Structure formats: structure tokens, C-alpha cells
Structure 1
Amino acid sequence: MLFPTPALTGTDERLLSEVDRMRGELRDRLPEVPAKRLNRLREFLTADAVAASNSIEGFKVATIDVEDLLAGEHDVDISEENRAETLAYEQMMTYIQTLHDVEDFAYSKEMLNALHWMLQGHRHSPRKPAGQWRRGPVYVTDARDPSIAAYTAPDAEAVPALMAELVDWLETADSTHPLVRAAMAHLHLVSIHPWAGGNGRMSRSLQTLMIAREGVLAPEFSSIEAWLGRPGNTWEYYQVLGRRGSEYLPDQDVPEWIRFNLIAYHQQAQTVHARFVRSGRVWEQLLEFAAAESLDERLITALHDVAMAGRVRRSRYEQSESLSVQQAQRDLRELVRRQILESVGRTRARFYVAGARFPEKVSEVAHTPTTLRNCYRT
């Protein structure tokens, strides 16, 4: 038995229509964006989702470090465990992103287990098998007292039947709004907890996959994982999940879960739109700065990274502009010579940050925070 999808209130419907409008407006504007800037936005959003979802499970890696790892950078100062978890999650998310327009796509237990292997294959063991349903009990322990089970998942013997029911549900279309169905899929999977580990990330990834399959926006613009990874939101995420009970009790109405997800969708759309606008303003101001300084326009890519992310590495700049190692090094050395950038570190670990002559107006725009609306309160 799965949780029934609750009926939406008038406020819920209004919120959904606002989310649809914001996502549609962004979809219509993306084709106007220069490819280089759009690619960087996509890379940031992917890295932010990976960093946030992993952080919920205790693997703390800054978004900028995830960006460097995804770009193939080896000299990133993080633990080997965090590196392995980041690269595994990125591999799975990259595959999910490619599934958004597959014509003969189908949900199946094999597909879900294959995704789980991508995520947890590096941790596979007889006690905690990856890519297979768990063989014993699993608990979510209380954050303050690990001796207390905040949630006890269904018996392992019940998992195959429950997952078969979930796959049937995923494969059966209905009139429910796709964003609401995606939220319910998240709740179903995280409540069944079918694997020995990685259940939270798998549930959030299934939600991302379903939103991507909806087809309005590319997956990196649609995932709410970055929103869920903010500390206050993570706390509320666990609170909302916890209020459904300490055992698997699907015969209950879950409107609070839907409201929580609608707020996440709405604020995620606001956040992505704000990042899109801020990135565009930074790019335009850097165009003016480059013209005034007689800089080659390609250098804007490096300066934009410094403004928006706080630093740039030679390898990332080299890839973004399709330069040789020598050309990228010469460009960055010239920016350092002019005190626009400052070099930090040595050899392969070197990166570049804003220097004394980095344009202050650009930094102000890049660092101006966004105020998010909670539409249940307005």
C-alpha cells in the first residue's frame, strides 16, 4: 500500500500555477543566453544539487569544490570519502539528466537498482549490498540520540512487493500535476527505504528524474535538492517526514508533505531565476570592464567565475574557452600582473581570486542576496 495523493487546496493550486509560470518564463528566456554563460549556469546548478543532497547525509563539500571535481580537477582539498561520494552522486545525476527525453523510457526495479549501484557501488558489501533490495531491517536514527529509532522502515520481506507497487504507480499516468506526483514518489520511496543505504539521495533523485521527464525544463534547472540542502530547510524536511509516524503507515493523508514541496518548488524557481538574472548582470558589467581595460572578451569567462563563485582554476578556464594550457596560463598571468586577479597556492593546486583592481560594482552585484517569498504566508 502506498500513501494516497491528497487533494489540493485553492492556495495549493495558486502556488502551482505560479511555479508553472516562473518555470515557463525561464524556459523561454534560456535560448537567448550565450552558450558559454548558459553552460556555466548549468554546471553550477548541477554541482549545487550534488553538494546539497550529499550534505543532507553528512558529506560536506562546498559547491565550488564540487564544480572543480566535476570539471576533472584532482587537487581539491577534501577527504577521500567525500570525493568518492561526490563523484558517485554526480555520475548518477548525469545519467538522470540524459533520461529526460528518452522516448522508450520506462520505470522498473532494474532501473532503480542500477541507479542505486551508481550511487553506492563503491560501498558494496555482503552486509550492505548496492543495487539490490536490503536483506534486513533499516532505521533512521534520531540526530540527537543514535540509540533511538526516529523511523523504522517496513520489514525486508515486504520490500519487493512494495517496490513492485511503486513501479506500477510510476508507470501509470493520471491527471495529478507532475510536480505533485514527483513529490509523492519521493515520499513513497523514502518511506519504503528499500536499500541498506543511500535511500534519501535515491528518493530525491527520483523526484528530480520525474520533474525532468515532465519536459518543461532541463533537470539542472528543476531539482529542489539545492533548496533541501540549506540547513533550515533540511531541518524542516526531517520534521515533515517525521510527522508521518515512526513506522510505515501509508493509510494517512499527507497534505503537509505536499505543501512543503510546493514551497520548495516555488522558492527553488525564485532562486534559479535570481541566479540567472544576477549572472546576466555580472556578465554585462564585465563586458564593459573588459572594453575599458582593453581585455580580450574571452577573459570574461574567468572573471565571471571569480565574481559568482569566488575563484577560478586554470583548468576550468582552459576548458570553458577551449584554450591550450599555455594560452590559459598567459591569460591568467596577465590578469594577475594587472592586479585584477590574485594567485593563491602553487602549481596544480593554484587558483585565482579577485585582486585589488577587480571591479567593485561587479562584486556588489554578484554578492547581493535574494529575498525569497513563502507564498503560504503572503
Structure 2
Amino acid sequence: MLYPTPPRTPADDRVLAEIDVMRQALRHQIQTTPSKWTAGLRKFLTADAVAASNSIEGFKVSTIDVEDLIDGERDVEVSEENRDETLAYERMMAYIQTLHDAQDFSYSKGLFNALHWMLQGHRHTARRPAGQWRRGPVYVTDARDPSIAAYTAPDVDTVPALMKELVDWLDTDDDAHPLVRAAMAHLHLVSIHPWADGNGRMSRSLQTLMIAREGVLAPEFSSIEAWLGRPGNTWEYYRELAGRGPTYVPDQDVASWIRFNLTAYHQQAQTVQGRLDRSGRVWGALSEFAAATGLDERVVTALHDVAMAGRVRRSRYEEAEGLSLQQAQRDLRDLTTAQVLVPVGRTRARYYTAGPRFPQPALDLAGTPMTLRDPYSG
């Protein structure tokens, strides 16, 4: 038995309507924004989701380091374990992103276990198999005392039937809002806990896949994993899951879970919109700076990365602008000579940060924080 989808309240309907309006507006803005601006945002949002979802499980890699790892950079100062977990999750998410418009798509045991292998295959052992249902009990331990089980997953013998029920539910249309269905799918999967490890990330990625399959926004703009990874929100996330009880009791009201997820959708949409707007203003300020100082317009791409992310690597600038190695090196060398950029590190590990003559207005715009609104408070 799965959790029944709770009826929505008038407040839920109001929040959902606001989310729908924001996502449609964001879709239109993305479609009409120059691809140079949105390409970097897409990469950032993917890296931010990977970094956040992994951080919930204790793997700490900054968003900018995740971006570098995705780009294939080898000289990134992270542990081997964090590198492996980051690249595994990114590969799985990259595949999920390709499924957003697959015409013959369907959910299945095979899909779930293939995704799990992408995520956990590097950790596969006979005792904790990847890509297969678990072979024994599994517990979520209390963060304060690992000798206490905060949650005990359903008996191993019930997992195949529960997962079949979930697959059937996923492949059956109903009249629930797609965002509500995605939230319920997350709860179903994380509660069944069908694998020995990786259940949280699999559940969050399933939610991302379902939102992306809805078709309103590209997958990079659909995930709430970055929102869930913020420290205060992570605590609320665990508290909300704990509120379901220490064992699997699906015959209960989960309205608070829906409200929690609708808040996440709403505030993540606010965040993405804010970053897109800020990115555009920063680009405009840097374009003015380049024109006023006689710089080639193409260097704005490198300067924009520095303003928004804190640094840029030669390889990223080279790829973004379609330059040769020599052209990219020359541009960055000239910017360094002009004290617009400052190099950090040597050879392959080198990156560039803002120098003393980097335009301060662009940095001020990039560093201006935004205020998030609680959709249920007004």
C-alpha cells in the first residue's frame, strides 16, 4: 500500500497557481534570453543540485568545484570519495535530463535499478549491491545517536510488491497536479527504501525527473534539490520525513509533506528567477565595461563567470566561446596584465579571480542578496 494523495486546501491551490505562473514566465524569459546567458545558468543549476543533494548525504563539494568536475577538470581539491560521488550523481542526473522528452518513456523496475547502478555502481559489494533491491533490513539512524533507528524501512520481502505498486502508480495518470504527484513519488520511494544505500538521492532525482517530464521547464530549472540542500531546509526536510513515524505506515495524512514541497517549488522558482535577473544585470554591466575599455566583447563570458561564481578556468572560457587554446590563453593573459583578473595556481590547476581593476559595479550586482517569500504567509 502507498500513501494516499491528500486533498489540497484552498491555500495549496493558491500556491500552486502562483508556482504555475512563475514557471511559465520563467520559461518565456529563458526562451527569449541569449543562449550565452542561460548556458552558464543551466550548468550552475545542475552543479548546484548535485552539490546540494550530495551534501544532504554528507558529501561536501562546493557548487563551483562540482562545475569544474563536470567540465572534466582533474586538479580540483576534493577527496577521492567526494569526487566519485559527485561524478556518479552527475552522470545519473545527466541521463535523467535526457529523458525529459523521451517519446516512448515508461517507469519500470529496470529503469530504477539502472539509475541506481549509475549512482552506486562504484560502491557495489555482495552485501550492499548496486542496481538491485536490498537483501536485508535497512535503517535510517538518528543523527544524534547512531545506535537509534530513526526509521526502519519495510520488511525486505515486501519490497518487490511495493515497488511494483509504485511503478504501476507512476505509469497511471490521475487528476493530481504534476508537482503534487512528483512530491508524492519522492515520499513513496524514500519510504520504501528499496536499496541498501542511495535511497535519498534516488528519491530526490525521481522527483526531478517527474517535474522535468511535465514539460514546462528544462530539467536544469526543475529540481528542488538545491533548495533542500540549504542547511535550514535540510533540517526541515528530515523533520518532515520523521513526522511520518519510525516505521512504514502508509495509511496516514501527509498533507504537511505536500505543503513542504509546494513551499520548496515556490521558493526555488523565486531563486532561479532572481539568479537569472541578476545574471542579466551583471552581463550588462560587464558589456559596458568591455566597450568602455576597448576589450573584445567575448571576454565578457570570462568576466561574468568571475563575477557570478568567483572564478573562471581557461578551459571553461575556451569552450564557452569556441576559442583555440592560444586565443583563450592570450585573452586571459591580457586581462591579467590589465589587472582585471588575477591568476591563482600554476599550469593545469590555474584559475582566475577578480583583480584590482575588475569593475566593482558588476561585483556589487552579483553579490546583492535576494529575499525569498514564504508563499503560505501572505
Q: What letter is aligned with 2:57?
A: E
Q: CA deviation at 1:114?
A: 0.3
Aligned to 2:137: 137
Aligned to 1:172: 172
Aligned to 1:372: 372
Secondary structure of the structure 2 residue equivalent to 1:175? coil
Q: CA deviation at 1:12?
A: 0.4
1:9 matches 2:9: yes
Secondary structure of the structure 2 residue equivalent to 1:315? helix
1:289, 1:31 → 2: CA distance? 26
Q: CA deviation at 1:375?
A: 1.4
Q: TM-score, normalised by structure 2?
A: 1.00
Q: What letter is aligned with 1:182?
A: A
Q: CA deviation at 1:276?
A: 0.4
Aligned to 2:183: 183
Q: CA deviation at 1:377?
A: 1.5
Aligned to 2:36: 36
Q: CA deviation at 1:59?
A: 0.3
Secondary structure of the structure 2 residue equivalent to 1:47? helix
Aligned to 1:24: 24
2:106, 2:225 → 1: CA distance? 23
1:6, 1:368 → 2: CA distance? 39
1:36, 1:272 → 2: CA distance? 16
1:287-306 → structure 2 map (5 Å cutoff)? 287-306=287-306
2:111, 2:343 → 1: CA distance? 46
Q: CA deviation at 1:204?
A: 0.1
1:175-324 → structure 2 map (5 Å cutoff)? 175-324=175-324
Q: CA deviation at 1:263?
A: 0.3
1:374, 1:235 → 2: CA distance? 17
1:168, 1:45 → 2: CA distance? 31
1:342 matches 2:342: yes
2:17, 2:95 → 1: CA distance? 29
2:67, 2:240 → 1: CA distance? 31
Q: TM-score, normalised by structure 1?
A: 1.00
1:97 matches 2:109: no
Q: CA deviation at 1:209?
A: 0.3
1:308-335 Cα shifts (integer Å, max 9, x gaps): 0000011111111111111111100100
1:297-317 Cα shifts (integer Å, max 9, x gaps): 110000000000000011111
Aligned to 1:61: 61
Aligned to 1:362: 362
1:352 matches 2:320: no
Aligned to 1:150: 150
Following superposition, which runs of at least 4 residues in structure 1 exceed 2 angstroms of deviation?
none
Q: CA deviation at 1:33?
A: 1.3
Aligned to 2:51: 51
Aligned to 2:81: 81
Q: Number of residue pairs matched? A: 378
Q: CA deviation at 1:29?
A: 1.2
Secondary structure of the structure 2 residue equivalent to 1:343? strand
2:268, 2:30 → 1: CA distance? 17
Aligned to 2:123: 123
1:55-114 Cα shifts (integer Å, max 9, x gaps): 000000000000011111111000000000000000000000000001110000100100
2:156, 2:145 → 1: CA distance? 24
Q: CA deviation at 1:36?
A: 1.6
Q: What letter is aligned with 1:48?
A: D
2:145, 2:316 → 1: CA distance? 43
2:346, 2:100 → 1: CA distance? 41
Q: What letter is aligned with 1:109?
A: K
Q: What letter is aligned with 2:276?
A: F
Q: What letter is aligned with 1:110?
A: G
Q: What letter is aligned with 1:272?
A: V
Q: What letter is aligned with 1:187?
A: L
Secondary structure of the structure 2 residue equivalent to 1:148? strand
2:201, 2:177 → 1: CA distance? 23
Aligned to 1:159: 159
2:324, 2:144 → 1: CA distance? 52
Secondary structure of the structure 2 residue equivalent to 1:154? coil
Secondary structure of the structure 1 residue equivalent to 2:179? helix
Secondary structure of the structure 1 residue equivalent to 2:140? strand
1:251-278 Cα shifts (integer Å, max 9, x gaps): 0010000000000000000000000000
Secondary structure of the structure 2 residue equivalent to 1:146? strand
* Gapped regions of structure 2 (runs ≥ 5): none
